[in-house]
Amino acid sequence: MTENSTVDVLISGAGAAGLTLAIELARRGVSFRLIEKLNDPFRGSRGKGIQPRSQEVFEDLGILDRIVALGGIYPRQREYRDDGNFSESDAVVGGEPTPAEPYHLPLMVPQFLTEGVMRERLLELGHRPEFASELIGFEQDETGVTARLKGISGEETIRVRWLVGADGGRSFVRHALDIGFPGKTLGVRAIVADVILTGLDRDVWHRFGDGDMQRQVAICPLAGTDLFQIQGPIPLEGEVDLSAAGLTALVKERTGRDDIEVHSVSWASAFHMNARLADRYRLGRVFLVGDAAHTHPPTGGQGLNTSVQDAYNLGWKLAAAAAGAPDALLDSYEEERRPVAAAMLGLATNLLDALKRGEMRRGREVHQLDIGYPSSSFAVEKPERRGGLLAGDRAPDAPLRGVGGQTTRLFELFKGAHWTLLGYEVEQAAMPPRPGLHIHRIGRRGDVIDEGGHFHDAYGLASGDWVLVRPDGYVGAIIASAHAWALEAYLANVGLAA
């Protein structure tokens, strides 16, 4: 057994949540280890819907374009009736992109491709997951966590300041902490299988037997691959044959067609749907993110997205705490993210009921653009605002022009690990500059010009107002010039004192 010196953070689990957290820490120079008990990367399609809010997060992480290049948009869905006729409709509902919301449609990207891009980004930043390394025990005290890992070459004990359980629905970390995971089993068991098949074209998402839980089967061409994903409910009990022959038989039985043949299966799973939420997201120096903190039915494509955004919320806070920010900032992770998961569990469960009735349509409510933290202790307004954009809301995008002449966007100004302070038509600086804070003045004497009025439309600020945008793209504070002193107090609480 070996014992290593202290690193800041141990992340247990290199799925979508663990990888996102690792990227967030890596780009802030925080020391960490990312361990994964599997010997190789997971290769299932599972969470294949990337919602518009996650696309914004991926833009900030520097991986959006690579992910779009690998995946695609959702095809239309074709619903077959028993007489063999069919009707087609949009599988996802979205409006046009707007200056404030540049991404408007969910993307389809199999989870193994998304995670591959994340690993590539992590490698660019000088890190990689440690495969075949399992967390098997830990103890925490006031100054840190001592964790035991089991790997190919034996056991190892490491000392870290914080441990994050990004270890999925059966989370070892959650069990070890004895954190309750109340909720319900939804009485639905389903299969999901990534297969090579013939007999169906790749232009549409084929849906058979909608509204009938005994006979439903959906067969979706997986963007960026030669695979189709088969999904369908199965009886609650009993063996299920997930071989190519077994799936061919299941498809034949449900579609009445013998021209659809499954030739090979690259990944398949049979699972019971649950909706569960951890009682706590933090216990001392240990945190839960992603499926470790919440599990839910796949309807609505929320799981991976919520998991990524958990990690995106926690990453910058851990980095700030490692640099000396007050501990209350870490408490705000649970305060902000647990209510989001609670709402998402209700949404996914309602969509499952709609699917049972054959009425599944995914609209704006699944895009996650309206998620915000207005009740957070870190959402401050001086004076209190009566409407429009509020502290805690997602900070909208807006096209702008730099006074140097080039076009830019607010999201370009936000991109990176820093906070952003925007002054609208301000006369003078609100505060001295400092590391980790970018200050821009928008308006006639500023460095950026709101040429099309899009910033004004989205933010609704009065002349002289300041808006402080967090590293994760949410509004931290909206402060009128007469209250500019409040900005200094706010920044001290997040570790950015002058």
Ligand X SMILES: Cc1cc2nc3c(=O)[nH]c(=O)nc-3n(C[C@H](O)[C@H](O)[C@H](O)COP(=O)(O)OP(=O)(O)OC[C@H]3O[C@@H](n4cnc5c(N)ncnc54)[C@H](O)[C@@H]3O)c2cc1C
| Sites of contact with ligand X (CB under 6 A) | 12-18, 35-38, 42, 46-49, 111, 134-135, 166-168, 172, 192, 269, 271, 290-291, 298, 301-305, 307
In angstroms, give the least distance from the CB of 54 to ligand X.
9
Degrees to nearest 5, angle at CA 425 with 422 and 429: 60
Q: Are 418 and 437 in contact (CB under 8 A)?
A: yes
Round to whole Å and give the CA distance between 179 and 166: 15
In angstroms, give the least distance from the CB of 46 to ligand X.
4
480 exposed, middle or buried (CB, 10 Å; 0-12, 13-18, 19+)?
middle
Q: How far is CA 368 from the centre of its chain?
A: 9
In angstroms, give the least distance from the CB of 274 to ligand X.
10
Q: How far is CA 366 from CA 45, 309, 444, in A?
A: 19, 14, 39
In angstroms, give the least distance from the CB of 339 to ligand X.
18
In angstroms, give the least distance from the CB of 50 to ligand X.
8
Residue with Cβ nearer ligand X (167 or 381): 167
In angstroms, give the least distance from the CB of 263 to ligand X.
22
Query: How many helices and strands, by DSSP H and E, does the chain display?
Result: 11, 26
Residue with Cβ nearer ligand X (271 or 411): 271
Residue with Cβ nearer ligand X (218 or 467): 218
Q: Buried b vs exposed e over 1-10: b needs ≥16 C-beta within 10 Å?
A: eeeeeebbbb
For residue 254 the two structure tokens come to: 């449900």
In angstroms, give the least distance from the CB of 116 to ligand X.
13
Q: Are 148 and 273 in contact (CB under 8 A)?
A: no
182 exposed, middle or buried (CB, 10 Å; 0-12, 13-18, 19+)?
exposed
Residue with Cβ nearer ligand X (14 or 439): 14
Q: Are 448 and 441 in contact (CB under 8 A)?
A: yes
Residue with Cβ nearer ligand X (133 or 493): 133
Residue with Cβ nearer ligand X (347 or 431): 347
Helix (H) or strand (E) holding 401: strand 399-402
Residue with Cβ nearer ligand X (74 or 316): 74
For residue 206 the two structure tokens come to: 């084929």
For residue 58 the two structure tokens come to: 């991926």
In angstroms, give the least distance from the CB of 391 to ligand X.
28
Round to whole Å and give the CA distance between 185 and 188: 8
Residue with Cβ nearer ligand X (5 or 39): 39
Residue with Cβ nearer ligand X (192 or 479): 192
In angstroms, give the least distance from the CB of 297 to ligand X.
8
Closest CA to 293 of 145, 175, 181, 172: 181
Residue with Cβ nearer ligand X (288 or 469): 288
Q: Are 161 and 322 in contact (CB under 8 A)?
A: yes
For residue 302 the two structure tokens come to: 């929320």
In angstroms, give the least distance from the CB of 408 to ligand X.
32
